[in-house]
């Protein structure tokens, strides 16, 4: 690309990172971006997969596991599990096929029907992967729950999704589920993985139920449009939304794994995301397996030194991680990376929150290669915009749309339609033309909310962005009040609701406050009921209350007390104004603010 062509690109202090694509080894799967985009079709992408034998449809678990298990990859490690206590266990494609079949048989024995929801909530244990994939084999809908959630978010999500089965550990059950069982009457079976005695209705031990089941299971015929995955995501208001994904999504998982993560079959791939969130499912479970690679599953929580150890010792070749972790690794310094043998590593990608250009460039210094930022969200099911192995990088940009994806910057019109903004570097909402296989098929039980996320053929992402004259997209911010903290999407309403359940709290408003490591941290403003005093003890009390209900990852880290919260004349709390005031930014349009609060 000529320097001239870069002239109206976003001004960045960092020059583009040029790629000599001819020198890249192995040859990137997406070698020539323009011609691949021109030649691409989703039908051709579908042909990269096998489909169920005898034309019985398309099933994610078959593409991920069984088709490899019966072929040349049968004895290859599908998952390499690194336990917290230093264990290292390889699970081959054949073993994974057998284990997932046992789980599918166990569901059948329990009378669980296809289409019913199987929730999985635990740390990164092999059983989590077995349960997710086994549920798909049985034709059930697999729904992961983040194990750091507190009881409240768990109850709400199981109610919304009509959970029939939960797979968890005795410890998590005791701490988080036993107390909310009466709120989820449809939950018939709980499978408990590992040691520990608990009591309750419909409890089954994994070792007796699953390990005793037959390792043979014939995947039932699956329509590509059958519901497969249910992922919860947060909006600004109301309860979380259950985004429905179908089996056909696997076409996008597979192809984005090939193109955006450049997976080749000899790769050792490590996606660090927790499977409680969509990245950990699409790229921590499905895409690496459909591509037949060995996927690292590290049970332990983040620790910079340990992560460097894993990269080195496991000879990770493709690494998919997130900005918060990268920033934490940056803190321990470039020399730590340089002192190690990371010669196996050839591609690094990042997702989930804005990747600051310093972090892209730090990759270059520390690892000799940049981080490749990419963008997508729960609703899109797979990567939509990415920096590719063979394409130059503009540090700070999310990259260019995947082949098969049409992305645009749009402006909303009064009519409710949208207009595509053609001029480069003009801010608007990021929109995607509907029609790719991993697009959500609905928000469960919420037709209206689903409908509102489209304008004609355009799916509106809720993100603000710009596009430069060469088609690179640049993230600007969220169009709504949703918070991204350490890569986790947090709905302010859910946090506010938990806070006002405390008897001392009259009102609460929650914002995302910029944080150098977490991206944003959850901050709450509360007004107290008469008879309660704002004090340090009260602050601690409220933080403790929120943690107990929501879990530490979601609860506010800071709480400020206020006499009043700014509200519109119709009584809606203006989070935006609180945020502007907190950050010392212009207050914007406050014409609807109640007059005594200006
Ligand atoms: P989730 O649905 O939890 O995956 O969150 C999706 C949201 O995370 C997007 O709508 C963005 O706001 C944000 N996000 C994801 N990837 C990126 C990225 N590469 N740069 C900036 N924001 C991102």
Summarize pLDDT for 531-586 with one digit per residue, the tens.
999 999 999 999 999 999 999 999 999 999 999 999 888 888 899 999 999 999 88
Helix (H) or strand (E) holding 337: helix 334-338
Summarize pLDDT for 277-300 with one digit per residue, the tens.
999 999 999 999 999 999 999 999
Q: 230 by DSSP, 3-state: which?
A: strand
Residue 3: which pLDDT band, with cuts at 50, 70 and 90?
A: very low
Tell me whether residue 566 is in a domain: yes
Same domain, 539 and 440: no
Q: Tell me which of 377, 387, 401, 479 to substitute to probe ligand 1's pocket, judged by most ligand atoms within 8 Å of the beta carbon.
A: 377
Same domain, 447 and 487: no
Q: Is 351 in the pocket of ligand 1 (CB under 6 A)?
A: yes
Same domain, 201 and 100: yes
Same domain, 442 and 300: yes
Task: Check which CATH number belongs to the domain holding 163 and give it.
Answer: 3.40.50.12780
Same domain, 459 and 503: no
Q: Which of 403, 404, 371, 400 is nearest to 385 (CA)?
A: 400
Per-residue pLDDT at 1 exceeds 80: no
Summarize pLDDT for 112-138 with one digit per residue, the tens.
999 999 999 999 999 999 999 999 999
Look up the pTM and report it.
0.95
Tell me whether residue 7 is in a domain: no
Q: Which atom of ligand 1 is nearest to the CA of 278?
A: 4
Tell me whether residue 26 is in a domain: no
Cα-trace Rg, the chain: 24
Same domain, 238 and 305: yes
Q: Is 353 in the pocket of ligand 1 (CB under 6 A)?
A: yes
Same domain, 379 and 521: no
Q: Is 375 in the pocket of ligand 1 (CB under 6 A)?
A: yes
Same domain, 318 and 358: yes
Q: Which atom of ligand 1 is nearest to the CA of 374?
A: 19
Tell me whether residue 288 is in a domain: yes
Q: What percent of the chain has pLDDT over 70?
A: 97
Listed residues 467, 493, 513: the one ending a domain: 467
Ligand 1, atom 19: nearest CA belongs to which residue?
375
List 522's β-bridge partners, or say none: 512
Ligand 1, atom 21: nearest CA belongs to which residue?
354
DSSP state of 141: E
Q: Which of 229, 202, 81, 87 is nearest to 144 (CA)?
A: 229
Tell me whether residue 212 is in a domain: yes
Question: What pLDDT score does 533 carry?
Answer: 96
Higher pLDDT, 51 or 338: 51
Ligand 1, atom 23: nearest CA belongs to which residue?
353
Tell me whether residue 123 is in a domain: yes
Start-end of H helices in 342-446: 357-367
Per-residue pLDDT at 325 exceeds 90: yes
Q: Which atom of ligand 1 is nearest to the CA of 482?
A: 12
Question: What pLDDT score does 528 carry?
Answer: 97
Q: What are phi and psi of 587, to 5 degrees?
A: -80, -10
Number of domains in the chain: 2
Summarize pLDDT for 165-208 with one digit per residue, the tens.
999 999 999 999 999 999 999 999 999 999 998 988 999 999 99
Tell me whether residue 14 is in a domain: no
Tell me whether residue 11 is in a domain: no
Question: What pLDDT score does 597 carry?
Answer: 54
Question: What pLDDT score does 235 carry?
Answer: 86
Same domain, 488 and 455: no
List 350's β-bridge partners, or say none: 321, 373
Same domain, 497 and 589: yes
Same domain, 161 and 294: yes
Vertex 384: Cα angle to 382 and 386 (nearest 5): 115
Listed residues 467, 502, 528: the one ending a domain: 467
Question: What pLDDT score does 175 carry?
Answer: 96
Q: Which atom of ligand 1 is nearest to the CA of 398?
A: 19
Same domain, 453 and 351: yes
Per-residue pLDDT at 594 exceeds 80: no
Q: Tell me which of 240, 324, 325, 353 to substitute to probe ligand 1's pocket, judged by most ligand atoms within 8 Å of the beta carbon.
A: 353
- Report, as an integer, the average pLDDT of 499-510: 96
Residue 164: which pLDDT band, with cuts at 50, 70 and 90?
A: very high
Q: Is 377 in the pocket of ligand 1 (CB under 6 A)?
A: yes
DSSP state of 145: -
Domain ranges, residue 567:
481-597
């Amino acid at each position: 690309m000529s320097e001239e062509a870069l002239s109206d690109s976003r001004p960045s202090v960092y020059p583009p990172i040029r790629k000599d694509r001819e020198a890249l080894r192995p040859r990137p799967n997406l070698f020539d971006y323009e011609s691949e985009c021109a030649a691409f079709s989703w039908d051709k992408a579908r042909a990269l997969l096998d489909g169920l034998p005898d034309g019985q449809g398309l099933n994610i678990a078959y593409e991920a596991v069984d088709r490899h298990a019966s072929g040349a990859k049968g004895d290859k490690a599908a998952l390499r599990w690194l336990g917290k206590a230093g264990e290292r266990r390889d699970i081959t494609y054949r073993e994974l096929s057998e284990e997932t079949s046992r789980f599918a048989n166990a569901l059948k024995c329990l009378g669980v029907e296809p289409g019913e929801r199987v929730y999985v909530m635990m740390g990164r244990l092999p059983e989590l992967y077995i349960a997710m994939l086994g549920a798909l084999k049985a034709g059930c809908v697999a729904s992961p729950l983040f194990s750091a959630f507190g009881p409240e978010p768990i109850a709400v999500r199981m109610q919304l999704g009509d959970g029939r089965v939960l797979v968890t550990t005795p410890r998590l059950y005791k701490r988080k589920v036993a107390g909310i069982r009466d709120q989820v009457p449809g939950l018939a079976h709980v499978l408990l993985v590992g040691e520990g005695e608990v009591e309750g209705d419909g409890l089954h031990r994994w070792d007796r139920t699953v390990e005793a089941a037959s390792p043979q299971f014939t995947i039932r015929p699956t329509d590509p449009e059958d519901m497969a995955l249910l992922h919860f995501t947060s909006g600004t208001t109301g309860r979380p939304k259950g985004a429905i994904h179908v089996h056909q999504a696997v076409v996008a998982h597979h192809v984005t794994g090939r193109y955006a993560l450049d997976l080749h079959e000899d790769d050792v791939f490590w996606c660090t995301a927790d499977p409680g969130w969509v990245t950990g499912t699409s790229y921590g479970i499905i895409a690496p397996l459909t591509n037949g690679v060995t996927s690292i599953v590290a049970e332990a929580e983040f620790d910079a030194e340990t992560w460097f150890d894993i990269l080195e010792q496991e000879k990770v070749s493709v690494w998919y991680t997130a900005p918060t972790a990268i920033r934490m690794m940056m803190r321990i310094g470039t020399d730590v990376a340089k002192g190690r043998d990371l010669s196996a590593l050839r591609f690094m990608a990042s997702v989930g929150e804005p990747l600051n250009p310093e972090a892209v460039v730090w990759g270059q210094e520390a690892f000799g290669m940049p981080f490749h930022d990419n963008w997508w969200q729960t609703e899109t099911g797979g990567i939509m915009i990415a920096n590719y192995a063979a394409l130059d990088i503009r540090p700070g940009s999310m990259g260019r749309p995947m082949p098969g994806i049409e992305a645009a910057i749009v402006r909303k019109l009064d009519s409710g339609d949208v207009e595509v903004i053609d001029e480069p570097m003009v801010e608007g909402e990021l929109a995607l033309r509907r029609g790719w296989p991993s697009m959500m098929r609905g928000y469960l039980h919420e037709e209206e909310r689903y409908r509102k996320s489209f304008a004609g053929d355009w799916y509106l992402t809720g993100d603000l962005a710009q596009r430069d004259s060469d088609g690179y997209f640049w993230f600007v911010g969220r169009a709504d009040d949703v918070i991204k903290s350490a890569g986790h999407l947090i709905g302010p309403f859910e946090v506010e609701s938990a806070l006002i359940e405390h008897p001392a709290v009259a009102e609460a408003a929650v914002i995302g406050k910029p944080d150098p490591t977490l991206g944003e941290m959850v901050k709450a403003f509360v007004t107290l009921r008469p008879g309660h005093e704002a004090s340090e003890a009260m602050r601690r009390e409220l933080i403790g209350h929120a943690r107990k209900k929501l879990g530490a990852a979601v609860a506010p880290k800071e709480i400020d007390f206020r006499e009043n919260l700014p509200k519109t004349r119709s009584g809606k709390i203006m989070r935006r104004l609180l945020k502007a005031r907190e950050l010392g930014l212009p207050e914007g349009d406050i014409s609807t603010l109640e007059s005594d609060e200006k």
